[in-house]
């Protein structure tokens, strides 16, 4: 297969970790007979430095013409970098918001997986961590409370703030379909998380998702109230496969799920639109505190590349090969600085990339 990928290495540790993900993709290409064509683009601080703009329209047009975007991370030290003296719409993060909007990325996927070798980093009780977990949080990204009408004004002499939570059935249906499609590639279970005992919007989510579920008889479907879901995530995370939810609930629950895995350097993510197109990036930021030292953990970005193979290119076998190679290096005891226990030997970013590439 010929795969055309826009590569945005970005700022901070972005160039270091993306280089390793490309190394691993090339090993996959060699083994399975695929060609990965990369076009490197600028976004974030490096684009401000070159063009005075965190994301140019030309860059967006090139990204749109590709099958997928592989992104490192953008931004610098928010206290000291001159990028943060610019107006908000000219700062590095404005590039990220613009690309998500321009590409119509409405579905955010964040897997939370506990590697047995790293279970000591899991802050949950040993009896819970022992059972492991492997879930995918699927968060709606372009609707709901964060995008509704809002204002603050004085009403009858009292300052009053209003935020509006709106969803229509089309916005719900398109992400529910994605959620069930993804469940079909996993353990075939979807949990819709909502607040249907209170919110009209949640009741519409239930109605539409129930209709979609009928088209997927193989998938087990359940609903759960968001307050209970927050508790269940720390009590029994092993019960979840795909957790489907709206924007704000997903924002909060996906951070909770990340936390219980214990390491930011291991967490991949994807944002998808209605087609097979996706933007794949690590969940963490540009880590300016460790940039340029070749010590960042590249695994989150490498696993994001695996998600790209699975969800954009339908190359499931190849995605499995990457995920298994990551498991293997961890089993063999290799650790980067963020996941090493005190006294344990550490490998550099580029060594970790090579070790994984060799095990494809």
> Which residues would be at the binding site for ligand NAD (CB under 6 A)?
13, 17, 73-76, 78, 93, 96, 264-265, 281, 284-290, 296-297, 300, 338
Q: Which of 146, 185, 189, 348 is catalytic?
A: 146
CB of 93 to ligand NAD, least distance (A): 6
Q: Is 334 a catalytic residue?
A: no
* C-alpha 274 chain-centroid distance: 17
Residue 333 class from Cβ within 10 Å (0-12 exposed, 13-18 middle, 19+ buried)?
A: exposed
Q: Is 227 a catalytic residue?
A: yes
C-beta closer to ligand NAD: residue 80 or 197? 80
3-class SS at 195?
A: coil
C-beta closer to ligand NAD: residue 102 or 181? 102
C-beta closer to ligand NAD: residue 73 or 209? 73
Q: Which of 251, 311, 334, 338 is catalytic?
A: 251
C-beta closer to ligand NAD: residue 212 or 296? 296
User: Long-range contacts for 174-178 (Cβ within 8 Å, ≥24 apart)?
Assistant: 174/106, 174/107, 174/274, 175/106, 175/107, 175/138, 175/140, 175/244, 176/208, 176/209, 176/212, 176/213, 176/244, 177/212, 178/107, 178/138, 178/272
C-beta closer to ligand NAD: residue 56 or 73? 73
CB of 338 to ligand NAD, least distance (A): 4
C-beta closer to ligand NAD: residue 169 or 344? 344
CB of 178 to ligand NAD, least distance (A): 21
Q: Which of 227, 236, 316, 320 is catalytic?
A: 227
CB of 161 to ligand NAD, least distance (A): 26
* Percent helix, percent strand, percent coil in the chain, to nearest 5: 45, 20, 35
Could you tell me if 112 and 137 are in contact, meaning their C-beta atoms sit under 8 angstroms apart? yes
Number of Cβ atoms within 10 Å of the Cβ of 334? 19
Alpha-carbon distance of 178 to 138, in angstroms, equals 9
Q: Which of 255, 314, 316, 320 is catalytic?
A: 255
User: Residue 257's closest CA among 270, 272, 241?
Assistant: 241
Alpha-carbon distance of 36 to 28, in angstroms, equals 9
Residue length, the chain?
Answer: 360
Could you tell me if 34 and 2 are in contact, meaning their C-beta atoms sit under 8 angstroms apart? yes
CB of 160 to ligand NAD, least distance (A): 32
- Region of 277 (left: φ > 0; alpha: ψ -120 to 50; beta: rest) is beta
CB of 260 to ligand NAD, least distance (A): 16
CB of 262 to ligand NAD, least distance (A): 12
Alpha-carbon distance of 52 to 57, in angstroms, equals 12
Alpha-carbon distance of 111 to 280, in angstroms, equals 12
Q: Is 181 a catalytic residue?
A: no
C-beta closer to ligand NAD: residue 74 or 309? 74
* Residues classed as catalytic: 146, 195, 227, 251, 255
């Amino acid at each position: 297969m010929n795969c055309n990928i826009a590569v945005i290495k970005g700022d901070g540790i972005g160039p270091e970790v993306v280089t390793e993900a490309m190394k691993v993709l090339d090993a996959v290409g060699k083994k399975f007979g695929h060609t990965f064509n990369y076009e490197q683009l600028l976004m974030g601080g490096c684009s401000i430095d070159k063009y005075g703009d965190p994301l140019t329209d030309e860059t967006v047009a090139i990204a749109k013409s590709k099958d997928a975007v592989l992104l490192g991370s953008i931004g610098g030290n928010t206290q000291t970098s001159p990028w943060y003296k610019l107006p908000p719409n000219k700062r590095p993060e404005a590039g990220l918001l613009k690309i998500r909007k321009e590409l119509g990325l409405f579905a955010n996927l964040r897997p939370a997986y506990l590697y047995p070798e790293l279970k000591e980093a899991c802050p949950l009780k040993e009896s819970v961590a022992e059972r492991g977990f492997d879930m995918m949080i699927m968060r709606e990204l372009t609707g709901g409370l964060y995008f509704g009408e809002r204002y603050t004004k004085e009403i009858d002499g009292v300052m009053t703030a209003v935020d509006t939570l709106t969803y229509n059935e089309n916005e719900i249906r398109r992400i529910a379909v994605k959620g069930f499609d993804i469940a079909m590639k996993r353990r075939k279970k979807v949990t819709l998380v909502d607040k249907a005992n209170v919110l009209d919007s949640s009741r519409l989510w239930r109605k539409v998702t129930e209709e979609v579920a009928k088209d997927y008889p193989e998938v087990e479907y359940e609903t759960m109230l968001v307050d209970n879901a927050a508790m269940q995530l720390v009590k029994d995370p092993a019960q979840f496969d795909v957790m489907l939810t709206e924007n704000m609930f997903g924002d909060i629950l996906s951070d909770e799920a990340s936390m219980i895995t214990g390491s930011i350097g291991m967490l991949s993510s994807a944002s998808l639109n209605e087609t097979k197109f996706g933007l794949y990036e690590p969940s963490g930021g540009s880590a300016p505190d460790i940039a340029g030292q070749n010590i960042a953990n590249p695994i989150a970005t490498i696993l994001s590349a695996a998600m790209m193979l699975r969800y954009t290119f339908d190359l499931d076998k190849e995605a499995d090969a990457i995920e298994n190679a990551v498991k293997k290096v961890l089993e063999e005891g290799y650790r980067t600085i963020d996941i090493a226990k005190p006294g344990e030997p550490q490998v550099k970013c580029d060594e970790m990339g090579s070790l994984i590439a060799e095990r494809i």
